[in-house]
Structure 1
């Protein structure tokens, strides 16, 4: 099992799963299916449907806004941080380009982070340790203490 350092407690946070996706539209439904399959054995108390929706939005954004002169992939990882679930989506885009938008009602795009902001207990964007950008969200009280 892989561990990272939990930003909030400074303790090890076990990685529960990861997937590598191609930057193509078919990767979005694949991410939904794989997350549902791989999170099920951990019996989360949170809404898996909400997590799948947030992952869909972040993978879509990663594909749409990722950029590299070389072939690249989208990486999705999820971790247990105490009682919380943290999901990260990495791409080779620029961290400064991630921003919460407030689209007009007739705008076709721009609601991804707004959905994440409304469903997650918190979210973050910044430089990825893989290079590029990471956008993550946290769902509290996913598991008992």
Structure 2
């Protein structure tokens, strides 16, 4: 049996926090407490990247005449027998490219963190527009108490 939980969020400075809280709550509800820290860190990096780089338009274009931000990202969590899937879809068709950050740089390590924690990750364009990043965390196949 596969479980799914999805959250669609407006892209703003609070989006990473909302995604972390959602991920924590869902994984705890699924009994996957051992994966919460790694999953939350992966989600935080992916959503922060989407906020910084995954927009289809500039912040000025997003608000337009209405003054409302219309750009969204969708976070999907899946519980499989041997893995937790983390999927993030945003509005930019530009695929992520891992960077090598210098020791004194504050940014540029997000995908390195994802690579270190996840069993695997991929990024692919979606038909409508944007892209989907998919990561998997290996889980113990025995139910937790």
- Same structural fold, with TM-score higher than 0.5 when normalized by the shorter chain: yes
1:57 to 28, 45, 67: 45
Larger radius of gyration: 2
Which consecutive unaligned segments of at least 5 residues does structure 1 have? 1-12
1:142 CA displacement = 4.4
TM-score by length of 2: 0.81
RMSD: 2.0
Query: What TM-score, normalized to structure 1?
Result: 0.81
Deviation >3 Å, runs of 4+: none
Aligned to 1:40: 28
Distance in 1 (alpha carbons) for counterparts of 2:131 and 2:104: 29
SS of 1:43's equivalent?
Answer: coil
Quick one: structure 1 residues 37 and 45, their matched pair in 2 at CA, closer, same or farther if it must change by over 3 Å? closer
Matches within 5 A, 1:82-101: 82-96=81-95, 98-101=96-99
Deviation at 1:119, TM superposition (A): 0.6
* Unmatched segments (≥5 aa) in structure 2: 63-69
Aligned residue-pair number: 132
Q: Which of 112, 115, 129 is equivalent to 1:114? A: 112
